[in-house]
């Protein structure tokens, strides 16, 4: 696995996302068996960064992740767990309560990285960060970040956070480069902030092209792996694809080792 580093943190280039683990917006017991198998498969393959949220399956994704980590017989310190507070819970007391509940569901004493999942139109960032800063001081959270923030909100967050904002988690793929066009990627790269790409293969709906297929064939891998390799070829970009398919879980992990040539990278940059 390749890693990327900012002054306060080093993370694997490819982590494991847990959206749809345990259900969608609500828990779905029918997918528990497949979800649990996916988490155990990811741990066995070697993933160490797991991304979840209180919003995923209304907390059930955190529960299943906590169970998988606890039963892995691997030390908690070997994992890096990211979770998120939902936009309806951004008042001071709500942030504290949300984190406490996430800690209980994850069966852990601390969360490595805690994010504001989405900005809310009526949020008072001063109060939100007063709570987030307290969580860091109390040792409940190690690092802070945001998700789906624009540049203005990201800069405000940097001013309010007493510790470095280490990431902005946003959608990014060959077909979605909106956060490149709005200047977010460049800002993150210049200010030691991880640009965490979610939906890097458009939630499995990647549109294949002749160029993509030719590059994949040259490397004896899949088009999905080539796209992941392209995503993480950029400095300060990490990504968190999700799959419940053991073969795809393995392939996503192995995509970190693909070395694309400058010509291939240029060809992929031109695809949109």
pLDDT at 143: 98
Indicate the burial class of 10 (C-beta count within 10 angstroms; 0-12, 13-18, 19 or more). exposed
Q: How far is the C-alpha of 14 from the C-alpha of 247, rounded, in Å? A: 16
**Tokens coding 143:** 């690092």
> How confident is the prediction along the chain (272 residues), in pLDDT tens digits per residue?
999 999 999 999 999 999 999 999 999 999 999 999 999 999 999 999 999 999 999 999 999 999 999 999 999 999 999 999 999 999 999 999 999 999 999 999 999 999 999 999 999 999 999 999 999 999 999 999 999 999 999 999 999 999 999 999 999 999 999 999 999 999 999 999 999 999 999 877 778 889 999 999 999 999 999 999 999 999 999 999 999 999 999 999 999 999 999 999 999 998 86
Element (H, E) at 134: helix 125-137
Q: What is the DSSP letter of 170?
A: E
For the stretch 39-70, pLDDT in tens is 999 999 999 999 999 999 999 999 999 999 99
What is the predicted pLDDT for the residue at 248? 96
> Which active-site residues does the annotation give?
56
CA 242 to chain centre: 10
Tell me the CA distances in angstroms from 87 to 73, 75, 94, 124, 125, one per residue in order. Answer: 34, 32, 10, 11, 11
Question: What predicted TM-score, i.e. pTM, was given to this entire model?
Answer: 0.96
Identify the pLDDT of residue 272: 65
User: 194 and 236 in contact (C-beta within 8 Å)?
Assistant: yes
pLDDT reported for residue 208:
81
What angle, 0 to 180 degrees and rounded to 10, lies between the N-to-C axes of helices 210-219 and 262-269?
Answer: 160
pLDDT value for 206: 78
Closest to 50 in 3D by CA, of 9, 79, 78:
79
pLDDT at residue number 207: 80
How far does Cα 147 stand from its chain's mean position? 9
Q: Which domains, from first to last, does the chain contain? A: 11-203+235-256 (3.20.20.100)
Cα 212-245-49 angle, rounded to 5 deg:
85
102 Cβ contact list (under 8 Å, min separation 6): 54, 59, 62, 83, 85, 111
């Amino acid at each position: 696995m390749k890693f990327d580093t900012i002054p306060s943190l080093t993370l694997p280039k490819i982590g494991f996302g847990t959206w749809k683990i345990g259900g969608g917006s609500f828990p779905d017991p029918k997918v528990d068996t497949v979800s649990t198998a996916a988490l155990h498969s990811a741990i066995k393959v070697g993933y160490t960064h797991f991304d979840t949220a209180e919003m995923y399956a209304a907390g059930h994704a955190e529960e299943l992740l906590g169970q998988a980590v606890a039963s892995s017989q691997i030390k908690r310190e070997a994992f890096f767990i990211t979770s998120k507070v939902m936009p309806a819970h951004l008042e001071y007391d709500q942030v504290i309560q949300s984190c406490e509940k996430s800690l209980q569901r994850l069966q852990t004493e601390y969360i490595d990285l805690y994010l504001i999942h989405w900005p809310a139109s009526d949020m008072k960032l001063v109060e939100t960060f007063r709570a987030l800063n307290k969580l860091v001081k109390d040792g409940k959270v190690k690092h802070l970040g945001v998700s789906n923030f624009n540049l203005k909100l990201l800069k405000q967050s940097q001013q309010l956070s007493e510790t470095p904002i280490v990431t902005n988690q946003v959608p990014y793929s060959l077909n979605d480069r909106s956060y490149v066009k709005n200047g977010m990627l460049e800002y993150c790269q210049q200010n030691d902030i991880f640009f965490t790409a979610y939906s890097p293969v458009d939630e499995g709906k990647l549109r294949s092209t002749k160029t993509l297929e030719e590059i994949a064939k040259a490397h004896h891998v899949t088009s999905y792996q080539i796209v992941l390799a392209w995503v993480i070829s950029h400095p300060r970009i990490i990504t968190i694809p999700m799959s419940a398919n053991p073969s795809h879980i393995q392939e996503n992990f192995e995509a970190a080792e693909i070395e694309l040539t400058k010509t291939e990278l240029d060809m992929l940059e031109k695809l949109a």
